[in-house]
Homo-oligomer: A and B are copies of this chain.
């Protein structure tokens, strides 16, 4: 059902596609690297499966192929960038670099980005901090999919938070999580398999727990109500207001602080239903470890914390406790060696992109 494709070949193809629609070589390489990094990490929902969407956006100028990025405000530890509606990846890469530079100078650095687009996996940017002995943070807002506690309409994005911190002998801690219980992709999979979904993932148009995956997706797509539940689920019994609060936190840092569109005002459309620039926002941060503590002590303590957790007694039926990022590091090793497993649908889309842009596909 899936074909393994070499990561380098996939990158070359993405660079070719981005360049053909007007993106400069440097930005094309950054965007390609970040897309393929998601696939390598096993986060296939955020990899080349998105290429066609980006290409279509660039072809219709909903995504600006020639953005004039600019610094709007700057201080020693902070900055706000305007992405001029360009691809989300290149501006995010540079924003995170800037945050790291600031951290190297004054101990911590933060950069918000407005007027941007989908930036791929949040974890990539947070992990950029690791080689500099910094702790990295990345957040973004997104199209409205999540319903606030006691509501019944999707207003907030899946609003991910990513945090990466280095270890010494162990692997880095890399948390990369949507603030909803699950991503929409899990409901799409249940829909394809004709399966119900567990109460706690989504609510229906009336604000009651949804179990029918077909109906949930249908209502969601027709925009009549319903959507994903925040982490913690429906109502207050399992503290869904905490996931909802994390999502508002992300909106605050990515959109309110940068001046991007927030919540359901992102991804606006004309009266006729045509897409306008998404105007989403991102937030990047870096803390330089040796501005708090000698990095070798920090990293040894991170090793010890991981050992403590992983060696603890396991729950019935389980033989392993994971540290965040561990599964993705293991997937990267396999996919680097054996190629990235792309399913038929994604392969068909890549073929369509090749044909549409009249570019070569070496796999």
Binding site for B on A (CB under 8 A): 72-73, 75-80, 103, 105-110, 112, 135, 147-153, 155, 163, 165, 173, 175, 177, 181-182, 198, 200-201, 203, 206-208, 225, 231-233, 237-239, 241-246, 248-249, 251-253, 255-259, 262-265, 287-293, 297-298, 301-302, 304-305, 308-309, 312-318, 320-324
Task: A206 to B135: give the CA distance in the assembly, Å.
Answer: 35
Contact indicator B263/A149 (Cβ below 8 Å): no
Q: Is the CB of A73 within 8 A of B293?
A: yes
- Looking at A80, A242, A314, A320, the one whose CB has the most chain B CB atoms below 10 A away is A242
Dominant SS at the A interface? mixed
The answer to whether A155 and B309 touch (CB under 8 A), given A77-B291, A78-B107, is yes
Asked if B207 and A318 sit within 8 Å, CB to CB, the answer is yes
Distance A324 CA – B322 CA, assembled complex (angstroms): 31
Distance in angstroms between the alpha carbons of A322 and B135 in the assembled complex? 33
B residues less than 8 Å from A309 (CB atoms): 148, 151, 155, 248, 263
Q: Which residue of B lies closest to A317 (CB)?
A: B207
Instruction: Name, among A239, A291, A304, A323, the residue most crowded by chain B CB atoms within 10 Å (CB to CB).
Output: A239
Cα–Cα distance between A152 and B323 once the two chains are bound (Å): 15
Question: In the assembled complex, how far is the CB of residue A208 from the closest CB belonging to chain B, in whole angstroms?
Answer: 6
Q: Given A198-B237, A242-B177, A257-B293, decide whether A312 and B151 contact each other with a Cβ distance below 8 A.
A: yes
Of the A-B pairs whose beta carbons lie under 8 Å apart in the complex, a sample of 20, sorted by A's number, is: A76-B105, A76-B106, A76-B107, A77-B107, A78-B287, A150-B318, A150-B320, A152-B313, A152-B316, A175-B249, A181-B232, A181-B239, A207-B313, A207-B315, A207-B318, A208-B315, A231-B243, A238-B238, A251-B305, A262-B304
Given A77-B108, A77-B291, A78-B108, does the pair A175, B256 have CB atoms closer than 8 Å? no
